[in-house]
Amino acid sequence: MRLFKARSLAFALSASLIALGAPTVASAQAADGKGEVNVYTYREQKLIQPLLDAFTKETGIKVNVVSASSGLEQRIKTEGANSPADVLLTVDIGRLGDAIDAGITQPIKSAVLDKTVPAQYHDPEGRWYGLSMRARVIYASKDRVKQDAITYEELADPKWKGKICIRSGQHIYNNALIAAMIAKHGEAKAEEWLRGLKANLAQKPSGGDREQARDVAAGKCDIGIGNTYYWALMKTSPTQKEWADATRVILPTFADGGTHVNVSGVVLAKNAPNKANAMKLIEWLAGDTAQHMYADANFEYPVKAGIKVNDIVASYGTLKPDTLPLAKIAEYKKAAANLVDKVGFDN
């Protein structure tokens, strides 16, 4: 028994040494060559890693990554002056707003970015820039939905009663859509709309975007609401192809506007220790190589003009993004969340 104890103790000690030593080793490796850049990301690492690898290959700058699904602004804020974060990559305009509100950003001053990223997709003061776009669209049953065009407002029409599937109203993608509705029509009208949509749901909101397509495929509902790239991902997945095949994407519009679009974007951390490299990375992400990867590997709409949209995404039809400034949507984020609670959308 003694032996067992001694052995496990030795193991635990050496293990803790390795664990504690790991970050030190990581930073030591980066000391040589072109240096490094530390990326905190909400974008899933599997999505973003190929881009970062390509960046390293091209520039020799090592990229270190922390990915999480929430709380990174809070982490950077708490880490304060000693924070290793250089760059924060996020999805959703609301998150970009949160980063600014948390006071963890500094202006990205770049003539290159101002030229490539359209004004609608970056902060007027340059605190955030969009890198890619996605639209919130309809996955309609091929068999049971005949119409080819639809408005977001129409989703509250009683003719869809028991026919709509959607994930939680508190999910950031839906939150932004509801916020856009408030920005366009005011809170009272938006509430009426949300109640109407709620009344049309086939089931309690749950699952993710893919599950909505899956439920349409199984006939649980006629239309599901989801993001553009999910449909393309299903279409190219051997096990999920049938869900995509049972549905088609309709690009909905607001009654008086275009399709609701959200961005994935980037901010530069206030205390970025590797600012120069961070700037290189940000500009590279808005450049041709990265923009093509956003389009073809992730099935997103590139933010840079002139980059070709992937064929599957192009098959949805021509995207006509709504012109409402994204900053406006971010403003109504909290109101949208409160509205979801008020109408008991998820209950």
Partner 1 sequence: MAHASVSDDGLPHRLQWPRHLLARIFLMVLAAAVVAPLVTLIVIAWQGDDEIWHHLWTYVVPNASIDTALLLSGVALLTAIIGIGAAWVVTAYDFAGRKTLSWLLPLPLAFPTYIVAYVYADIFDAAGPVQAAFRTLFGYRTAAEYWFPQIRSLPGAIFVMSVVLYPYVYLAARAMFQTQSASLIEVARTLGASRLMLARHIALPLARPALAVGLSLALLEALNDIGASEYLGVQTLTLSIFTTWINRSSLPGAAQIACVMLLIVIALMALERYGRRHHRFNVSLRRQRYVARIALHGRKGLLPLIVCLVPVALGFFFPLTYLTIQVVQRGLLTGFDPELVRHTLTTLTLAATATAIAVTLGLCAALAVRLIRDKVAGTCLTIAGIGYAIPGTVLALGLMSPLVSIDTALNSISQFFGGPRLGLVIAGSSAALIIAYVTRFLTIATGSAQAGLSRISTEIDDVARTLGTKPSGIAWLIHIPLARPALGGAALLIFVDCLKELPATLLLRPINVETLSTYIYQYATRGNFEDGALAALLIVAVGILPVIRLTQFSEVAPAASPSSSASGT
344 binds partner 1 (CB under 8 A): yes
315 binds partner 1 (CB under 8 A): no
DSSP state of 259: B
Q: What are the E-state strand segments in the chain?
A: 36-41, 62-67, 87-91, 105-106, 129-141, 164-165, 223-227, 247-250, 261-269, 301-302
Smallest distance, Å, CB 253 to partner 1?
25
Span of 50-58, 124-132, 285-293, 329-337 interacting with partner 1 by CB under 8 A = 329-337
Cα 101 from Cα 99, distance rounded (Å): 5
User: Do 136 and 166 form a contact (C-beta atoms < 8 A)?
Assistant: no
Q: Which of residues 45-64 bind partner 1 (CB under 8 A)?
A: 45-47, 64
From the list 172, 197, 223, 309, which residue makes contact with partner 1 (rule: CB under 8 A)? 172
From the list 6, 28, 218, 314, which residue makes contact with partner 1 (rule: CB under 8 A)? 218
User: Do 145 and 317 form a contact (C-beta atoms < 8 A)?
Assistant: no
For 216-242, b where at least 16 C-beta lie within 10 A, e where not — what string?
A: bbeebbbbbbbbbbbbbbbbeeeebee
From the list 221, 223, 244, 268, which residue makes contact with partner 1 (rule: CB under 8 A)? 221
**Residue 98 or 283 having the CB closest to partner 1:** 98
100 binds partner 1 (CB under 8 A): no
239 binds partner 1 (CB under 8 A): yes
CA atoms in the 13 A half-sphere facing the CB of 330:
20
**Residue 79 or 114 having the CB closest to partner 1:** 79
101 binds partner 1 (CB under 8 A): yes
